[in-house]
Structure formats: C-alpha cells, structure tokens
A and B are shown apart, each in its own frame.
Chain A
Amino acid sequence: MTHDIIQRMDEEERFLAYLDGEFAPAEKKALEDELASNPELRVRFDQYKRTVELLGRIGPTKAPESFLNDVQTRVARRPIARPTPQIRFPFELVAVMAVLLGVLYMYFVWAPGDPGTILRASPPSIVRIELNHPLETDEIRGLGLESYGRASDGRRIYTTQCTTDSLAAWLKKRPEALIEPQNLLATPGRVKVLIVVPAKVEGSSKQPEGMRPQEKIETGTGVPVSNEPP
C-alpha cells in the first residue's frame, strides 16, 4: 500500500517533470530506459503524454467577434458606481479627542480649585453685602461693580459677579461689611454680589465706574442719580 503510494508519487513527479522539460539529461535518460524495460509503465506514460498533447492541440478559444461591443454596451447601460476614494476614519484622532475631552471635563467639573470651581458654582449663588459708607471709584473698579439701582429706602445697589476668593480679598479691607450668607465665601466658586451702600456720598466729584450711560450724576457727589423707579 505504502509502496504503491510512493510509486504513484514518484510516477507523478517524473511524468510531470519530463513533460515540463524540467529533467536534467541524465534523469531524462533514466526514465526513458525504464520505459523501455517496463511495458506497463510505457503504456501509462504514452497515454498520459498523448492526453497532454491532445489538450495542447485544442489551443486557445476565440471570443465572439462582437465581444468588445457587447461589453461596452453593458458597461454603458449600467450606472458606474466607481468606488469613491476611501477616507480612512481617523480613529487615533478620535481617541485623542475623547481623552482630551475627558481630561477637560474632569478638570473643569470635578477637579478642585479654579477654574473648575467657576463652572461648578454656576449658576452663581447670591451674596448680599451691606456697607455703612458709599463706595469710592477705586473700590468700585476693584471688584468690577456696576450700578444696579436703588433700594426702596433710597440706598444704592451695586452688583457684580466674581469668585469668592476675589470677593474675600476685597472684603478684607472692609471688616465692617455685613455679609449674608457668610458661609458662601468659605466655598470656592463664583458668586453674584449685591452691595448696598448709603445713598448720599459727600465730597466726591468723580464718576463711579460701571455707571450706566443714562444715569445722571448728582452735583458734587459723583453718585449716579437713578432714573429707575425706586
């Protein structure tokens, strides 16, 4: 059985090599000698060789004369969906962007301290501050205050938005200020500030910062006279 397989493999390789012209002269002669002395092998080889010759004589087949025209007609009939140039999706870029966004999110929303606290405190809480003296220009400018109008008792109201840190620093110079609620200043973040000050200011001629254009200045005071209803 094994011998037959080896013999068949041997025959296969030798027949193929002989007809493919891959044999060295010595190998070719060896096979021819064996064929001469082995009639059974000779019959198999002759049939094999004639089959190959016969197949070779069939030769290539010609396509019909109208083949090119037929193909061109069919190509023209079908809409040509030429593949669009493939745009490679930039996964690396998307991954980097995602990581960056994650870091920014963590930084601004979850990480302690500025500027994350700014976002965390949004919308800002309101801190109400009462002072027993009117504000000077540099005080108004220092906190970026704007005139908000008058309270029902005639006192002026200024407003701004700032961080609790900058407000605390501003208030250090004004220990008399009444702050409500006080605990807001202990929490880092952004707050809306309402500062109520007495209406009449003596001896100041400068126009305060943040005043609205339509506001008039009280003569000799520098304090805007509100045109808003009290």
Chain B
Amino acid sequence: MKSDQEKGFVKQLKAGDPKAFARLVRENQDVVFGYLYRMLNSRHEAEEVAQEVFIAAFRFMESFRGEGSLRTWLLRIASNMYKNKIRYNVRRRRAWETGFDDLIERPGHRPIGQRPDSPEQIAQRNELEVALGKAIEALPEEFREVLVLRDIELHSYADIQTMTDLPQGTIKSRLHRARSHLAKLLGDQLEGEELKQ
C-alpha cells in the first residue's frame, strides 16, 4: 500500500510539476544510470539511454498505474529501452580501454566516512572492475540482466520479478547460472582476490 505522501508525489508528477520531476530524476538517476551502465558497459551510451528513460517517464507519466514503486517502473522502462537499443542498433564493439577510461573518471562509491582510496587501491579496483566488466559483458543478455539487478544494483527478487516479468524460479536459476559462469570466467582474478584477503 502506498503512503499518502507517495500518492501525492505521483499526482504532482502526473500534473507535470517540474519540481516533482526534478526530484524523481535526482532520486533515481544513479539507479537507472548504474543499471544501464552495467548492461551496456559504456558510460556514454548509458547516459544517453538513461536520459531517454526519464524523458519517456515525463511524457508518459499518465501510464504509471502505481502497482509497483516508481523506481521499479523506471527500471522497467530502462530494461525495455536497453533491449530496443540492442535489438535495433548494431552495437559497436568498443575497445575495452574505453571502459577503463570510464572507470577512472567514475566518481566511485566510497561509503560516507570512509577514507579515500589510495592510488594503489584505485588501480587494483579498476583492474578488477575492468575484468568484471568484460566478464559481465560476455554473459548472455538474459543472465546479465538478473545478475546486474540482483548482485550489483542489489534489488529484491520481488522487484526484479516486476521489472522483468519473469517467475522467481527463473530469476534464481538464471542468477545462479550467471554467477557460476562468471566464477569460471574470473578464475584467475578470484585467486588473486583470495590472496589479497
């Protein structure tokens, strides 16, 4: 059941209130962008598609029926737009170095109060993320989606079910296979991680 506050917010959005729309973008931009970035493995493409997601949300706010959360609805739009992009555009094979550049300029996800990472730590993490990015990109699309939503974006199974329209059993099965596949692909890096720990 949605709170009155959330219902009021949705009402403002449906009325085309620009302040409400700005709040919607601020509160969800990282989640939408993050999901698309992990799926597309390109900051530039992710930014472009994420902007389209919010523009579509603004234009078609009337179609939001309030069955799930706004965030889930936005991610569902993002998922559809991502699939459209893959389906209709010939995806350019980018050099992985571009991805590496992206990671260096990425603002990072350091929790509040934690000391800034040392250059060595940043380098190590970037190296790992590059390897992870490659491995994730190599996964079949249907496995990649559930892996990104569950293990990177940390959504609940119920939310993923709403976003993907998949039964929970299928989500879990795909997630397990994606993780197992990734574990095989990351074999060496995982050994290195073990040594670091």
Contact = CB atoms under 8 A, between A and B. Distances in A.
A50 B187 contact: no
**Residue among A51, A52, A56, A62 having the largest count of chain B Cβ atoms under 10 Å:** A51
B22 A68 contact: yes
Interface string B131-154: 010000000000000010001111
B58 A75 contact: yes
B81 interface: no
A175 B172 CA distance: 102
A68 B132 contact: no
A16 interface: yes
A62 B109 CA distance: 8
Interface string B14-52: 001010011001100111111001100001000100110
A70 B47 CA distance: 10
Contacts of A56: 151-152, 154
A15 B151 CA distance: 14
Given A51-B182, A67-B25, A59 B109 contact: yes
A102 B47 CA distance: 60
A62 B33 contact: yes
A67 B47 contact: yes
Given A60-B30, A61-B106, A80-B16, A55 B173 contact: no
Nearest to A82: B16
Given A50-B190, A54-B190, A63 B59 contact: no
B179 interface: yes
B194 A50 contact: yes
Nearest to B108: A62
A21 B121 CA distance: 30
Contacts of A5: none
B106 A54 contact: no
Contact of A55 (B18, B51, B58, B147): B147
B55 interface: yes
Contacts of A55: 132, 147, 151-152, 182
Contacts of B38: 61
Given A47-B183, A61-B106, A80-B16, A52 B50 contact: no
B160 interface: no
A11 to B, nearest CB: 8
What band does the interface of chain A fall in when counting residues whose beta carbon is under 8 Å from B? 20 to 34
Contact of B107 (A12, A47, A62, A80): A62
Contacts of B172: 12-13, 16
Nearest to B185: A51
B59 A74 contact: no
B159 interface: no
Interface string B108-132: 1100000000000000000011001
Nearest to B172: A16
Contacts of B175: 16
A78 interface: yes
Contacts of B7: none
A63 B29 contact: yes
A71 B47 CA distance: 10
Given A60-B152, A62-B107, 14 more contacts: A12-B176, A51-B183, A52-B179, A54-B186, A54-B190, A56-B154, A58-B109, A60-B153, A61-B106, A62-B34, A70-B47, A70-B51, A72-B22, A81-B59
The 5 nearest A-B residue pairs measured at CB: A59-B109, A61-B34, A63-B33, A55-B151, A47-B183
28 contacts: A16-B172, A48-B179, A51-B179, A51-B183, A51-B186, A52-B179, A54-B128, A54-B186, A54-B189, A54-B190, A56-B151, A58-B109, A58-B132, A58-B152, A60-B153, A62-B30, A62-B34, A62-B109, A63-B32, A64-B33, A64-B43, A67-B47, A67-B51, A68-B25, A71-B55, A72-B21, A72-B25, A83-B63
